[in-house]
Amino acid sequence: MSSGLKNKLREIRVASNSMTQQQLATLVGVSRQTIISIESGRYSPSLELAIKISEALDYDLQQLFWLAKD
C-alpha cells in the first residue's frame, strides 16, 4: 500500500461545491483514476500535484495532506 501520507481530499472536494472527481482531475491535469487513487490512499501525489490540488480546492496544503504519525 501507499506511504504514510494521509489526506482528506474526498471530504474537502465534496464540501467544495460538490466538485466531481472528473472536474478536479481536469483542473489539475490528471486522470480521474489518479484522483480516485489519491482519495483512497493508494497513491501519494507528488508535491507539485498536491499543491495544484490544494490551489484548485482553495484549501491549505497542510490541512489537506499530512504525514501519519507512527
Partner 1 sequence: MNKNQREASVQLIAIPISVVVFFILMWGEFSKPASDYEFVWPILWAIVASVMASILVTIGFAMIFPNWLENSIKDERDRRIHSLGKDYTMGFYVLGSVLALVFAKLELDYYWIALTVFMSASMANFAHSLVKLLMYRFGTFE
Q: Which residues here bind partner 1, judged by CB under 8 A?
A: 1-3, 25, 29-34, 37, 41-46, 48-49
Q: Around Cβ 32, how many Cβ atoms within 10 Å?
A: 14
For partner 1, give the closer residue by CB, 4 or 14: 4
* Residues counted in the chain: 70
In angstroms, rounded to a whole number, what is the distance separating the alpha carbons of residues 44 and 40? 10
Cβ of residue 66: shortest distance to partner 1, in angstroms?
17
Q: By C-beta, is 16 or 37 nearer to partner 1?
A: 37
Place of cell 481536469: 26
Nearer to partner 1, 50 or 57 (CB): 50
